[in-house]
């Protein structure tokens, strides 16, 4: 059995984007991010998470 939102989890790990950074971007605690990932997200919310991961990983590469 695979975990829900495995593509988001994989992107977070491979691009080294922590849950707290995504939470800071959205304005919620990191535990809220991890809780949301427990169950499969709607496609629109998945895209939002992925765009935040892209943005944060790009800004980290720029530093």
In whole angstroms, how far apart are CA 21 and each of 2, 6, 15, 49?
24, 18, 12, 11
> The whole model's pTM is what?
0.88
Give the model confidence (pLDDT) of 13-42 as tens digits.
999 999 999 999 999 999 999 999 999 999
Classify residue 17 as exposed, middle or buried by CB count within 10 Å of its CB (0-12, 13-18, 19+): buried
* Domain coordinates in residue numbering, the chain: 14-62
Of all residues in the chain, the percent with pLDDT exceeding 90 is 86
Mean pLDDT, range 39-56, rounded to an integer? 97
């Amino acid at each position: 059995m695979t975990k829900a939102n495995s593509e988001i989890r994989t992107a977070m790990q491979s691009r080294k984007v922590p849950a707290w950074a995504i939470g800071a971007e959205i304005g919620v605690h990191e535990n809220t991010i991890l809780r949301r990932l427990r169950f499969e997200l709607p496609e629109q919310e998945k895209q939002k998470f992925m765009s935040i991961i892209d943005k944060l990983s790009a800004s980290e590469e720029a530093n």
